[in-house]
Structure 1
């Protein structure tokens, strides 16, 4: 329904009024729609004779006149996610602002923020802290007033101490004498029965048991969050399902380090991100997967499924746990595209903004324990994949080069694979292909 006068158009949509600041043809409707928990979206509707351009959308500023209760429900989860646990960021009665995060829904893959639909007051939660919720379940209600909450006032300055009475000129010229030190009164000796008992061990104030050990010799059960439970299930499932075997090799990082040092400044200036060691390893792994398709395959029931694409998962450690966002179609990407994609996914992982789609799928995984100083490890396969590469710390070690002992920057590589599908020959050839690509990074650029 439309109401129009000389200066404004009012659009009433589902009982809400939206006012534009300039007259428009009535065939054009632009309105602001709330769609929790995603960010506020602007939708433009048009007829076939009068398309609305982006310039027009930017020129029209809509300000909603809203009132009444607004109920927010859980978003639609992807097929791989059945439920999530809620974590409150606000409490009932709080003044809230539009697009403010009211709660987070922690799934086994990521945490989904749930936004406030408008300025107002949070009136009621329909779920409890930590409760598992499903898609479409009611979460909370907001009394939308359209008035932004006032910012907290700065604390009032402490009143100044009263100025002392004017002293004699001679006294004012002398430096102030130090105040006499207070003397404690003599202690009163009490009977042994009157002496205070030491506090009970359980009554002592204990720091966060997940951050530090306070030495109280007590135990503090902390429920596992949904992500940690899922990680535990997947790791144990991989051990129970696959026949895991690990093969090792070592990699001379001299040429790659020289290559990075030579091109780092130009690369950073051109693309806005630093050239790291991850992109050569990711690209080398993609080339090796193209060379050994069986490593890119997976066993499903009684079939071997060969995948005609290369999607590489990169393990990222976050405060919530280990996540593995995915780079799609790495076989068609070069170093700059890989670095930009890795940086974007890493930032989303640190900020807790990864979506389930960012972590769904993948044909191969890279895990870089070297950033934490790991010298050697045997990584566990990330199902439903068949292999995982473990990268480790770069250590200066003596190695034999052309019959002489030289100090070279060396890294151990570990490839864990499903021996039901991948034979030792394919695994060793695959790892050697990665090794050669990293030791001579120009060969990857040349497509060798």
Structure 2
């Protein structure tokens, strides 16, 4: 009876054998090791696909036990890591870099890959600890949210012990060679004996060699005749997603807004004196470096009280037919990075003092340089300040960051002669440029706003009374 039941069970397919009650009556699972079960998992897959014949399969008892154990464990042994959600407006990106490779062990939340989007770089982290088994995409491939990215075999431990044992195995190789020559206790190898002989022969030929090589200046003449204009090389590099997005938005701004720029100059003497007198005390007390951006940001928020249209925007179809006025000011601060210009946002700048603004700008700037900005850091923004003066710009016309209405451009501080109370004096001067959308702002309002900012900067005490 036992042999007939085994024969009947053997005729059944593998899936039927796994669910058969006879499987549960086989030998205990303790007799099957983890390694044998892993090896069987590959065998069972090949058997199901028809790659193995019935005669080449393992003994029936092993198949039944391993199949049952495999069903219990393999369902959660591997995990497919998918492309994570990035933002509502982002559905795809470019797989820029794999920081791990197949066979590497990763800890939970350890970074595995970086996906570049048109706004930010998204880090893909390991959901659990395990070993990378397979990668489903290559670098520079376009990946979509929810797409399979890699397979992770869960569990295990980092191969630290193997790395430590490797040098220990190599050490006993040295005495093994010495046993072959019992007569010599500490005889050096042949390579070490031959090395000094070569060194003695080496100094003999040098005097004759340079005499033959000196009268051969032919190569420079050939280069000058074949390439009379020097080297003319070209490189073509594919634009990254952020640069493509910047180009698209700037061109859209030029095509949509009726841009116009008005200029003014501001005497920075009073603000520079204030910063010089209090920057050390502020740094010691708060740990924040006092700069000029906080003063200009605060001055702009105060000037917007008199000219609220600067903080407004146009919305609606067909170019817009609705003006949106806001009672809050989210200032976008332009920060230059290696990949392009980004504009993280200082939220509710109208409620922050100098220290609060400087702290917020410093944190956003550091995140931008470390490629750690999130979508929330750059979303929104009602007004932009761009400081090209840090790069030495004397004057320029910034482009509006739609759907905003205006952008203020700051420039380099230069000592110039100016008329002060009928006398010519040398003062540190800066040019200001306000580019605005003429569809919403008239020239009078734009100039009024810029003059207000100028007055606040030239006499910072005015900001305490506004």
Label 1:298 to 1:147 Cα distance change in 2 as closer, same or farther (>3 A): same
Aligned partner of 1:243 among 258, 264, 269 = 258
Tell me the residue number matched to 2:333: 314
Tell me the residue number matched to 1:219: 234
Q: 2:105–2:157: 8 Å Cα contact kept in structure 1?
A: no
Deviations 1:49-86 (A, max 9, x none): xxxxxxxxxxxxxxxxxx82222222223223232211
Tell me the residue number matched to 2:77: 68
Following the alignment from structure 1 to structure 2, what is the Cα–Cα distance between the partners of residues 100 and 79?
24
Residue 94 of structure 1 deviates from its aligned partner by: 2.8
Return structure 1 stretches of 4+ with deviation > 4 angstroms.
184-187
Aligned partner of 1:296 among 308, 311, 333 = 311
- Using structure 1 for the length normalisation, give the TM-score: 0.71
2:368 is the alignment partner of 1:346: no
Alignment of structure 1 residues 9-48 onto 2, 5 Å: none
2:90 is the alignment partner of 1:81: yes
* SS of residue matched to 2:412: coil
Deviations 1:233-260 (A, max 9, x none): 0000000001111000011110101101
2:105 is the alignment partner of 1:95: yes
Residue 105 of structure 1 deviates from its aligned partner by: 1.5
Tell me the residue number matched to 2:426: 407
Label 1:378 to 1:391 Cα distance change in 2 as closer, same or farther (>3 A): same
Tell me the residue number matched to 1:275: 290
Alignment of structure 1 residues 108-119 onto 2, 5 Å: 108-119=118-129
Deviations 1:311-368 (A, max 9, x none): 0000001111110000111111111111111111111111101001110110000000
2:272 is the alignment partner of 1:257: yes
Structure 1 residue runs without a partner (length 5+): 1-66, 166-177, 188-196, 202-214
Tell me the residue number matched to 2:150: 140
Label 1:383 to 1:395 Cα distance change in 2 as closer, same or farther (>3 A): same
Following the alignment from structure 1 to structure 2, what is the Cα–Cα distance between the partners of residues 402 and 410?
16
Label 1:447 to 1:132 Cα distance change in 2 as closer, same or farther (>3 A): farther
Following the alignment from structure 1 to structure 2, what is the Cα–Cα distance between the partners of residues 346 and 429?
30
Alignment of structure 1 residues 433-448 onto 2, 5 Å: 433-444=452-463, 446-448=464-466
Q: 1:120–1:149: 8 Å Cα contact kept in structure 2?
A: no
Following the alignment from structure 1 to structure 2, what is the Cα–Cα distance between the partners of residues 396 and 232?
35
Tell me the residue number matched to 1:33: none
Following the alignment from structure 1 to structure 2, what is the Cα–Cα distance between the partners of residues 332 and 375?
31
Deviations 1:213-251 (A, max 9, x none): xx7523222111110000000000000001111000011
* SS of residue matched to 1:396: strand
Q: Which has the higher strand share?
A: 1
Q: Which has the higher helix share?
A: 2
Label 1:410 to 1:149 Cα distance change in 2 as closer, same or farther (>3 A): farther
Q: 1:118–1:146: 8 Å Cα contact kept in structure 2?
A: no
Following the alignment from structure 1 to structure 2, what is the Cα–Cα distance between the partners of residues 182 and 219?
47
* SS of residue matched to 2:360: helix
Residue 102 of structure 1 deviates from its aligned partner by: 1.1
Q: Number of paired residues?
A: 344
Moved more, 405-414 or 115-124: 115-124
Following the alignment from structure 2 to structure 1, what is the Cα–Cα distance between the partners of residues 281 and 132?
51
Residue 184 of structure 1 deviates from its aligned partner by: 4.7
Structure 2 residue runs without a partner (length 5+): 1-75, 168-173, 175-185, 189-199, 210-218, 224-229
Deviations 1:416-441 (A, max 9, x none): 00111110000000111111111122
Tell me the residue number matched to 2:116: 106
Tell me the residue number matched to 1:393: 412
Q: 1:97–1:149: 8 Å Cα contact kept in structure 2?
A: no
Q: 1:86–1:104: 8 Å Cα contact kept in structure 2?
A: yes
- Using structure 2 for the length normalisation, give the TM-score: 0.68
Following the alignment from structure 1 to structure 2, what is the Cα–Cα distance between the partners of residues 291 and 137?
51
Residue 179 of structure 1 deviates from its aligned partner by: 9.4
Following the alignment from structure 1 to structure 2, what is the Cα–Cα distance between the partners of residues 237 and 123?
45
Q: 2:86–2:122: 8 Å Cα contact kept in structure 1?
A: no
Alignment of structure 1 residues 185-204 onto 2, 5 Å: none
